[in-house]
């Protein structure tokens, strides 16, 4: 039982670390970058149902895609390549692909110039999911522990 409580607490701590790492990108140095590679991946064929139910039925007219990009930037008299869109992921999911040769801004970690991102901050989905999972584990653990203690404290009527 104690393991579940520790695991829940570790997930909550991990969610806070993920938020802190995301916020750290606001201290990165801005520099000019050029898109050098774009790969578009179709995640589902057109017409794939997204929602299927007795009342609502919705399908994609345009297939959902993910976009992997590679960009190049110069900093401290050296040229670097990167595939990071944001701090946690390589792919840009907003379905608006840049073109090869497009100019953009890369944000570079000054102590390790090989680390850069195009999007500062963090995606709420990852830390929120970790946090809610950690809280859920703690709540379920406490509920089960409470039930167990109640059962143990009841007098045993069996001969």
pLDDT at 89: 66
Residue 1: pLDDT band (50, 70, 90) is low
CA distance 8 to 140: 10
Question: The pTM is what?
Answer: 0.69
Provide, rounded to the nearest whole percent, the portion of the chain with pLDDT above 70: 76
pLDDT at 148: 87
The answer to whether 116 and 27 are in contact (CB under 8 A) is: no
pLDDT in tens, 62-98: 666 677 889 999 999 999 999 988 877 656 555 567 8
What is the domain partition of the chain in residue ranges? 1-26+121-159, 29-119
Could you tell me the CA-to-CA distances from 67 to 77, 94, 98, 101, 129 in Å, in that order? 29, 8, 9, 16, 23
Greatest mean pLDDT range, 15-19, 39-43, 87-91, 120-124? 15-19
């Amino acid at each position: 039982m104690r393991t579940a409580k520790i695991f829940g607490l570790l997930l909550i701590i991990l969610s806070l670390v993920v938020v802190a790492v995301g916020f750290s990108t606001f201290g990165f140095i801005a520099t000019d970058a050029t898109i050098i590679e774009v790969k578009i991946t179709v995640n589902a064929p057109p017409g794939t149902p997204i929602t299927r139910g007795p009342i609502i039925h919705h399908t994609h007219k345009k297939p959902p895609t993910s976009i992997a990009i590679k960009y190049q930037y110069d900093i401290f008299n050296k040229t670097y390549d990167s595939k990071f869109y944001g701090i946690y992921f390589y792919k840009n999911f907003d379905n608006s692909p840049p073109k090869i040769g497009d100019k953009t801004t890369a944000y570079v970690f000054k102590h390790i110039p090989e680390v850069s991102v195009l999007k500062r901050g963090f995606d709420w989905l990852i830390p929120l999911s970790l946090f809610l999972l950690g809280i859920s584990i703690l709540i379920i653990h406490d509920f089960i522990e409470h039930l167990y203690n109640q059962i143990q404290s009841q007098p045993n009527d069996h001969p």
